[in-house]
């Protein structure tokens, strides 16, 4: 059955929940040293609001997922790329670790998403957007919220 040598890792929700510590408290950046500009702290309320916006999207439509990393890294890259106004964040799990993913755009067809992806690749060097349906993002958000209660 597992010819590749990979075996599934079976675990309970409680085991996963024990590894995740989610609160509604704001996530604050470390205090910068002298001469360093303070960044605007991102918070859980923003994440929750963005997730709610994503859950309201048509599950048959497409979006571009730009990345999934820790919140600080995501915020820095989104700001560097200049796509803050189009970026919508959501929390997800990968190997029991909370990551923040970035969604970009809402496309009624896969072809439209592909075309915008090509333009974005020219604008942001080194990026490889992942074309996803909102339905799969809805599943990720729902799964995260169920585990992170």
pLDDT digits (tens, 9 = 90+) for 67-97: 999 988 999 999 999 999 999 999 998 888 8
In 28-63, which positions are buried (b, 16+ CB within 10 angstroms) versus exposed (e)? eeeeeeeeeeeeeebeeebbbebbeebeebeeebbb
pLDDT digits (tens, 9 = 90+) for 48-62: 999 999 999 999 999
Nearest alpha-carbon partner for 89 in 78, 118, 4, 32:
78
Q: Which residue carries 């796509």 as its tokens?
A: 83
Q: Is 87 left (phi over 0), alpha (psi -120 to 50) or beta?
A: beta
131 falls in which pLDDT band (50, 70, 90)? very high
Q: What's the pLDDT score for residue 12?
A: 63
Q: Residue 79 and residue 94: Cα distance in Å, rounded?
A: 24
Q: Which residue carries 């809805």 as its tokens?
A: 138
Look up the pTM and report it: 0.69
23 falls in which pLDDT band (50, 70, 90)? very low
Q: What's the pLDDT score for residue 17?
A: 56
φ/ψ of 107, rounded to 5, equals -125, 130
91 bridge partner residues: 100
Inter-residue contact 119 to 45 (CB < 8 Å): no
112 falls in which pLDDT band (50, 70, 90)? very high
Q: Which residue has the higher pLDDT, 31 or 117?
A: 117
pLDDT reading at 148 higher than 90: no
């Amino acid at each position: 059955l597992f010819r590749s040598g990979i075996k599934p890792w079976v675990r309970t929700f409680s085991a996963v929940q024990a590894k995740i510590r989610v609160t509604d408290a704001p996530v604050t950046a470390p205090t910068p040293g002298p001469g360093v500009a303070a960044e605007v702290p991102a918070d859980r309320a923003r994440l929750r609001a963005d997730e709610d916006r994503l859950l309201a999207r048509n599950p048959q439509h497409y979006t571009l997922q730009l990345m999934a990393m820790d919140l600080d890294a995501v915020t820095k890259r989104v700001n560097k790329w200049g796509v803050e106004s189009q970026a919508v964040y959501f929390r997800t799990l990968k190997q029991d670790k909370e990551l923040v993913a970035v969604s970009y755009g809402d496309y009624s067809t896969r072809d439209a998403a592909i075309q915008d992806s090509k333009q974005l690749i020219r604008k942001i060097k080194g990026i490889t957007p992942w074309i996803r349906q909102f339905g799969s993002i809805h599943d990720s958000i729902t799964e995260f919220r169920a585990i992170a209660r």
